[in-house]
Amino acid sequence: MDRGEYDVCTYCGRSIFPGVAECPYCHNYTDGKGPLGLEHDRPRAKWFVVVAWIAVVAMLLPLLWALWRLFRR
């Protein structure tokens, strides 16, 4: 399969001509939002960022708590 001449449908995974608006096999629009497309991974990436932020905050909380106790005296 030559990826240079064909696009891959993000819904059914078949090779389609680049630039067509609708897949000739499954008749979904080739907007890249299918389960095989990159757009589908974005919600998971956002979720990962949120979890990473929670982890960072959880690591900083003891430090902030120590600083607060230090300045409280």
* Residues binding Zn ion (CB under 5 A): 9, 11-12, 23, 25-26
Report the nearest approach of Zn ion to the CB of residue 21 (Å): 12
Nearest approach, Cβ of residue 2 and Zn ion (Å): 18
- Specify the residue, 31 or 41, whose C-beta has the smaller distance to Zn ion: 31
User: Of the two residues 18 and 46, which places its CB atom closer to Zn ion in the complex?
Assistant: 18
**Per the structure block, which two tokens stand in for 25?**
């096999």
Name residue 22's amino acid: E
